[in-house]
Amino acid sequence: MTAARALDGRRAVVTGGSRGLGRAIAEALAGAGAAITVVDLEPALAGLPAGWEGFAADLGAPDALERLRPLADRLGAVDVVVANAGVVPPWRGMAELDGAEWARVMAVNSWGVAATVGAFAGALAASGRGSAILMASLNGRRAHPKQVLYTASKHAVVGITRAAALDLGPQGTRVNALAPGPIATEALMGRLLTRHGQGMPAPDAALAEMAGATALKRIATAADVAAAALWLASDATANLTGMILPIDAGMP
């Protein structure tokens, strides 16, 4: 089997897979031969490619685990689960925290990730070669000013990854996380534009500053993240678990 078809005959579930990094990851897995099921909010599922299955769920809801379990039962063995769905809140200083915002972001970014892995634990075990890939962040190992909520939520994903790796390892399931640095997605560009309106540098200047801080003098791309996800999904990483993989072009 060639590397390009490393996932022939396998089933992958990608949360938040309708757009952004989730869409790039789902496309990479599909290109390697995997059958794709995308879990996302219902309005986002309308534009999925032909042949992909969509499943509507709010992963920040208290019943997210119960909502996903029937899907896992119906699919049976699932080889790859990518817990990508997440929320990036506005920048806020410690004196401007919002309790409702905090609860919602933590619900999606931490509970939603844990619920996804928990719901598919049996399906991953049934595969015999299951790989769960969680979306952490550069903010899972460091912090930035006015990003306490996002930082806390991504530190939580790192903890979930390490604990789940220990829980699911005896069943033969690997659990790893991707930790991207800044990626010039539509969402990030929108946030940079908003900050520019508040007196911060223009988006292009902000991206250039980020790139200048890396070892490779560039920022990572969605394609970089998708390639790393494909690697973790494949048999090439059959002996790796509990790993947090930085994808940040050497961001200190």
Among 170, 16, 156, 152, which residue's Cα sits nearest to residue 82? 16
Q: Tell me how far apart the alpha carbons of residues 225 and 21 are, in angstroms, rounded to a whole number.
A: 7
Structure-token pair, residue 69: 């379990």
Q: Tell me how far apart the alpha carbons of residues 58 and 112 are, in angstroms, rounded to a whole number.
A: 8
The angle at the Cα of 70, spanning 64 to 75, to the nearest 5 degrees, equals: 120
Tell me the catalytic residues. Answer: 150
Sequence-distant (6+) residues with CB within 8 A of 31 are: 4
- Within 10 Å of residue 12's Cβ, how many Cβ atoms? 28
- Within 10 Å of residue 4's Cβ, how many Cβ atoms? 11
What is the torsional sign of CA 214, 217, 219, 220? negative
